Structure formats: C-alpha cells, structure tokens
Structure 1
Amino acid sequence: MTRLAVHAEIIKLARILSVSEQQLAFLQSIAPESLRQFRFAIIELLQDQQKARFRHLAIWVNWLPNWLNVFMVKRFLDPLIVAQIAVHLSTENLYRIAKKLSADTLAEISVHLDPRLARELLVYLTTHQIIEIAQVLLQKRDFVTMGRFVSMLSDEVVQDVAQIVEQESDLLEIAFYIESRERIDHLVHVIPKARIEKALLIICDPTQRLVWPKLLALMSHIGYELKQELGDLAVQQGETVINAIIQAAQEDQLWEDMLPVVAGLSAQAQHYVANLPALRQVDIIQSIVAAADHCHLWTDMLVVVNYMQDEARQGVAIAIAQIDEQVLHHIAYASLLRSQWEVTFDIVGRMPIDKQRQCRKILNVYMRQLDAETYQYLDGLLDHYQIDVPVVD
C-alpha cells in the first residue's frame, strides 16, 4: 500500500459521492486496490438504483430519430442523465449521437460515463475528436477524467494528447489519476525526455509545491526498469534536485512510496543518494526506518543501507534501537530473504548491548535451522562484527 495511491483513490471516491476528501479521511488505512473495488461497487450501486427508469428511457432513444436525440441531449438532458442512459445503448447507436455533439457536451458527459462503456466508445472516435474533448477537460482542469481516459487510449493517441498539454505540472496531474498503473509507463515512454527532465525540476520550484507529491507518485508507480531509468535521470540533475525530493518525501511522510524507488536505482546512483548529507539527518532516518517497519519494506531498506557509509549506518542503528523488539524479527527475516546478513550484522554491532542480545536470541532461532555451511558463515560474521553477546534462552 502507498500513501499516494490511497490519496488518489480517496479523491476519486469523494468526487463520486459528492463529499469532501476530509470526510473520507477515515479510509486512509485501506489498501488502494480495495478502495478502487469499492469505488466501482458504488458506481454499480448508483446505476442499479435507477436502472429500470434509464432502461426505459434508452428504449425511447432507440426508437426516436437520431436528430431528435441529439436535440434532446443538447437542450434538455443533464450530462449525468445522458451518461446513465448511455449504459443501456449499443456502442454504435451511442456513437451516432456522439458524433453530432460538440466537444464541450461530450466532455461534460464523459465525467459521468461508465469507464467500460467509454473504452468501447473511444474505439469509434477519431483522434481529432479525442483531442478536442481533452482540450475542454484540460481547460476545466479536470485531471481526474483525463487520467481515466488516458488509460484507455493507444500510445499514438496518448502522444498526440500529450502535445496539447503544455505544462509538465499538468502532465503529472493527469498521470496521478491514471486508473491503470501499467499505463503510466506508456505515458512516460511517449513523452520526450526533455519534458521528463523539466518535470523533475518542478521539485525545486516552491510555487509548484502542491504538484510535488504527483511527481513522487509518478516515480513510485512506474515499472522497475523505468523506475531505475527515471531515478537515475533524477540523480543526474544533481544534489539540489535529490535534496528537494528527500525534503518533499519527509514533509509529506511519503517514504513508503520513495524507499522502493531508491532501492531500485542503479548501484552508482544508490551509493550517491544513500550518502547525501540529507540522509544523515536524524529525523529523516527515523522516518525512513519507521516507514520500512510499518510497511514491510525492510528488504528495500537493507539494499539502501548496504550503500551507506558509517555515519548514516550509525543513524539507522540508533533509529532501529528505539523501536520495539518486533522490528528485529522483521529485519532478520528480510536479511534471510535478500541474503543481506553482512549489512545487518554491521547495523546490529552498532546497537546498545541489550539490543544486540535481543538480536542474537532471534538469530539463534534461525541458525538452528540452517545447514552447516551457512551456519559457519553467520558464525564468522558474528565474530567479525564482534557480536558475541551471551544469551540465556
């Protein structure tokens, strides 16, 4: 679960229910996928409540001549009503009406249109029609609807739509609301690299502060290879950009989103980021450690710590020592999964004696189940890092 993905789902849900985001704040602990399914269930429920009425209206629409249907939509029917009737029309019949409507009218209807029906309708619309609708939505700053439709467009059409979005901040807003996370990769690939670099520099612009989380969300939700590519690109922009990203993640407590990004960087980039002065600040290290433990990200955390030098590792050890004993079980299990025992023992060796004793007791449970070769390896590491604390079982 990521805080940013949850935030995007709450915004979409609040829009459907016509309530404020604050009224749905109690949903922040729910996984984004669960919220997404709940949102779809709400849409289904709202449609079912008036299904019979709208089905009867659809029968009239099918019977009436097309010119009269267009006239009714333009003059008398609310966009929400049109969207509800559209569910019960064939895609072909719907397109015959849609091609006679203005981009403004179609944009108003698209806000309420069922995503599944919209996907079918977009097949019939020309690229020119789609761009006109996108321009209207962009003028209205309706990024939620734009994000929903981007998920359904081909890469070629997405590229054409991206060209009319002049501000990189607007591109980030659209990407934030894309329904399918996989489609974000396509959006990034079709956008010129120069625009991506310009989007990264938004993090250094205080006037764009509200957009910063959208940039962090983009870096968090793209695929592994693209995450590394975009992360390395951010590193190439220099320490000022990376420090701004670190500060933004700290201010909004987004380490559960950003820690996997750092762990996915190339080895050279990870070494650079892990040893920046900003990541030696006590409050930042404490926040990162807390996020790693709360969100089960110790496998990623150990990858990052592996590149840290003494001062930063000491800070990590102090932060871990301040959490209850359960965190030591989490670290031991992550060490086993990633074979990160050396960095783990180095951190343990920097902890107070009582914590070392707890770690040794936990480790003893693991060592009893290991083969002789692995046992000797870990026993040698215990000697190397001087973790020779007597334990009373």
Structure 2
Amino acid sequence: MTRLAVQAEIIKLARILNVSEQELAFMQQTAPESLRQFRFAILDRLQNQQKLRFKHLAGWVNWLPLGISVFMVKHFLQPYIVAQIAVYLSTERSYRIVKHLPPKTVAAISVHLDPRLARELLGYLTTHQITDITKVLLAQRDFVTMGRFVSMLSDSVLQDVAQIVESESDLLEIAFYIESREQIDHLVHVLPKQRIEQALLIIGDPEQRLIWPKVLALMSYISYGLKQELGDLAVQQGELVINAIIQATQEDQLWEDMLPVVACLSAHAQNFVANLPALRKVEIIQSIVEAADRCDLWADMLVIVSYMHDEARQAVATAIAQIDEFVLHHIAYASLLRSQWEVTFDIMRRMPIPKQQQCHKILDVYMRQLDIETYQYLDELLNRFQIHTSV
C-alpha cells in the first residue's frame, strides 16, 4: 500500500459520493486496490438502483429518430443521466449520438461515465474528437476524468493528446489519476524522454511545490526497471534535485512510496543517495525506519543501508533502538529473505547493549532452524561484530 495511491482513490471515491476528501479520511489505511473495488461496487450499486428507469429511457433514445435523441441529450437530459443510459445503448448508437454533440457536452457526460464501459466507444471516436474533448477537460482542470480514460487511448492518439497538454505539471496530474497502474509504464515510454526529464525537474521548483507529490507518485507507480531508469535519471540531475525529493518525501511522510524506488536504483545511484547529508538527519532517519517497519519494507531498507557509511548507519541503529522489540523480529526475517546478515549485524553492534541482547535472543530462534553451514556463518558474524549475548 502507498499513501499516494490511496490518496488518488479517495479523491475519485469522494467525487462519486459527492463528499469532501476529509469525510473519507477514515479510509486512509485501506489498501488502494480495495478502495478501487469498493468504488466500482458503488458505481454498480448506483446503476442498479435505477436500472429500470435507465433502461426505459435508453429504449426511448434508441427508438426515437437520431435527431430527436441528439436534441434530448443536448437540452433535456442531465450528463449523469446520459452516462447511465449509455450502459444500455449499443456502442454504434452511442457513437452516432456523440458525433453530433459539442465537445463540452461530451466532456460533461464523460465525468460520470464508467471507464469500464467506454473502451469500445473511444475506439469509434476520431483523434480530432478526442483532442477537442481533452481541451475542454484541460480548461476545466478535470485531471481525474482525463486520468480515468487516458490509458484506453491508442499510442498515436495518446501522443496527440500529450501535445495538447503543454505543461509537464498537468501531465503529472493526469498520470496521478490513471485508472490502470500498469499503463503508466506504457505512458512513460510513449512520451518523449525530454518531457519526462522536465517533469522530474519540477521537484526542484519551489513555485510548483504542490505538484511535487505527483512526481513522487509517478516514480512509485512504475515497474522495477522503470523505477531504476527514472530514479537514476533523477540522480543525474544532481544533489539539489535529490535533496528536494527527500524534503518533499519527509514533509508529506511518503517514505513508504519512496523506499522501494531508492532500493531499485543502480549501485552508483544508491551509494550517492544513501550517503547524502540529508539522510543523516535524525528526524528523517526516524521517519524512514518507522515507515519501513509499518509497511513491511525492511528488505528494501536493508539494501539501502548496505550502501550507507558509518555516520548514516549509526543514525539508523539509533532510530531502530527506539522502536519496540517487534522491529527486531521484522529485521531478522528481512535479513533471512535477502541474505543481508552482515549489514544487519553491523547495525546491531551499534545499538545499546540491552538491544543487542534482545537481538541475540531473537537470532537464537532463527539459528536453531538453520543448516549447520549457515549456523556457523552467523555465529562467526556474531563474534566478528562482537554482538553481546543475552544474559
């Protein structure tokens, strides 16, 4: 789960329910996929509540001459009603009506249209029609609606739409609300690399501070390979940009989104990031450690710590020592999964002796279940790092 993905889903859900985002704050701990399924369930529920009414209206729209149907949609039926009626019309009939509607009317209908039902209709629309609708939604700053449909566009249409969206900050807003996360990789590959670089540089512009989380969202949503590519690209922009990313992540408490990104970087980039002065600040390290423990990200955290130098490792050890004993169990399990025992023991030796003893007690449980070779290896590490045994 990531905070950013949850935020995007809550915004979409609040829009459907016609409530404020604050009224849905109690759902912040819900997984984004669960929120997405709940949102679609709400859409289905709303549709089913007035199913007979919508089917009856759709029958009239289907039966009346095209000109009258278009006139009704333009002047008498609310956009929400039209979107619900469209469920019961054939794609061909819907298109014959849509092509006679002004872009502003189609844009208003699309706000309420279930994206699961719109894929075939989008295939009927011309590039010119889609770009005209995009211009209306862009003028209205309706990034939510644009994000819900953009992943359904063909590559050629997507490139034409991207040319209309001249601002990289607007592109980031649209990407934030993309309905299908796996489509974000494709979107990044379709866009010119220069635009992606300019989007990353937004995070160094104080005047666009409100957009910074959208940059972080883009980096957290994409796949492993693209995380490394864009992460390394961000590192190439220098310490100023990376410090801005760290600052934004700390201020908005988005370490659960950023830790997996940093863990995907190339070795050179990880070494650079892990040893920046900003990551030796006590409050930042504490936030990172808490996020790693809360969101089960110790496997990623240990990879990052392996690149840290002494001062940063000491800060990590100090932060870990301030959390309850359960964190030690989580770290031990992550060490086993990633075979990161050396870095784990190096952190352990920097903790107060009572904590070292707790660690040793936890390790005893693991070591009794290991083969003799691994047991001897860990026992040698305990001696090398002079970890105090439990008393």
Runs of 4+ displaced beyond 2 Å: 389-392
Per-residue CA distance 1:31-68 (angstroms, 9 max, x = gap): 11111011001101111111101101111111100011
Per-residue CA distance 1:221-251 (angstroms, 9 max, x = gap): 0011011000000000000000000000000
For 2:159, give the aligned amino acid.
Q
1:187-336 matches, within 5 Å, as 187-336=187-336
Per-residue CA distance 1:1-28 (angstroms, 9 max, x = gap): 0000000000000000111101111110
Q: Once structures 1 and 2 are overlaid, which stretch shifts more, 111-120 or 160-169?
A: 111-120
Please report how far the alpha carbon of residue 190 of structure 1 lies from its aligned counterpart in structure 2 after TM superposition. Answer: 1.3
Distance 1:40 1:29 in 2: 19
Distance 2:191 2:153 in 1: 15
Residue 172 of structure 1 is matched in structure 2 by 172
For 2:375, give the aligned amino acid.
Y
Per-residue CA distance 1:74-110 (angstroms, 9 max, x = gap): 1111111111111111111111111111111111111
Per-residue CA distance 1:333-359 (angstroms, 9 max, x = gap): 000000000000000000000000000
Please report how far the alpha carbon of residue 390 of structure 1 lies from its aligned counterpart in structure 2 after TM superposition. Answer: 3.1
For 2:139, give the aligned amino acid.
Q
**3-state DSSP of counterpart to 2:118:** helix
**3-state DSSP of counterpart to 2:56:** helix
Residue 390 of structure 1 is matched in structure 2 by 389
Please report how far the alpha carbon of residue 209 of structure 1 lies from its aligned counterpart in structure 2 after TM superposition. Answer: 1.2
Distance 2:113 2:368 in 1: 60
For 1:287, give the aligned amino acid.
S
Q: Is the CA contact (8 Å cut-off) linking 2:356 and 2:389 kept in structure 1?
A: no
Residue 80 of structure 2 is matched in structure 1 by 80
Structure 1 residue runs without a partner (length 5+) = none
Distance 2:74 2:371 in 1: 76
Please report how far the alpha carbon of residue 155 of structure 1 lies from its aligned counterpart in structure 2 after TM superposition. Answer: 2.1
Distance 1:290 1:104 in 2: 48
Distance 1:390 1:348 in 2: 12
Please report how far the alpha carbon of residue 178 of structure 1 lies from its aligned counterpart in structure 2 after TM superposition. Answer: 0.2
Residue 33 of structure 2 is matched in structure 1 by 33
Please report how far the alpha carbon of residue 131 of structure 1 lies from its aligned counterpart in structure 2 after TM superposition. Answer: 1.1
Q: Once structures 1 and 2 are overlaid, which stretch shifts more, 50-59 or 155-164?
A: 155-164
Q: Is the CA contact (8 Å cut-off) linking 2:70 and 2:100 kept in structure 1?
A: yes
**3-state DSSP of counterpart to 2:253:** coil
Distance 2:142 2:316 in 1: 43
1:350-369 matches, within 5 Å, as 350-369=350-369
Please report how far the alpha carbon of residue 391 of structure 1 lies from its aligned counterpart in structure 2 after TM superposition. Answer: 2.3
Distance 2:42 2:369 in 1: 49
Distance 1:148 1:114 in 2: 9
Structure 2 residue runs without a partner (length 5+) = none
Distance 2:62 2:118 in 1: 19
Residue 347 of structure 1 is matched in structure 2 by 347
Residue 162 of structure 1 is matched in structure 2 by 162
Distance 1:152 1:81 in 2: 23
State the percentage of identical aligned residues: 79
For 1:21, give the aligned amino acid.
E
TM-score normalised to the size of structure 2?
A: 0.99
Residue 22 of structure 1 is matched in structure 2 by 22
Distance 1:357 1:376 in 2: 19
Q: Tell me if 1:96 matches 2:96.
A: yes
1:1-16 matches, within 5 Å, as 1-16=1-16
Per-residue CA distance 1:341-393 (angstroms, 9 max, x = gap): 00000000000000000000000111111111111111111111111x2324x
Distance 1:134 1:219 in 2: 25
Per-residue CA distance 1:198-222 (angstroms, 9 max, x = gap): 1111111122111111110000000
Please report how far the alpha carbon of residue 274 of structure 1 lies from its aligned counterpart in structure 2 after TM superposition. Answer: 0.2
Residue 118 of structure 2 is matched in structure 1 by 118
Distance 2:199 2:220 in 1: 15
Per-residue CA distance 1:296-345 (angstroms, 9 max, x = gap): 00000000000000000000000000000000000000000000000000
Please report how far the alpha carbon of residue 253 of structure 1 lies from its aligned counterpart in structure 2 after TM superposition. Answer: 0.2
Distance 1:156 1:332 in 2: 50
For 1:179, give the aligned amino acid.
E
- Supply the RMSD in Å over aligned alpha carbons: 0.8
For 1:201, give the aligned amino acid.
L
1:371-382 matches, within 5 Å, as 371-382=371-382
TM-score normalised to the size of structure 1?
A: 0.98
Q: Once structures 1 and 2 are overlaid, which stretch shifts more, 312-321 or 104-113?
A: 104-113
Residue 46 of structure 1 is matched in structure 2 by 46
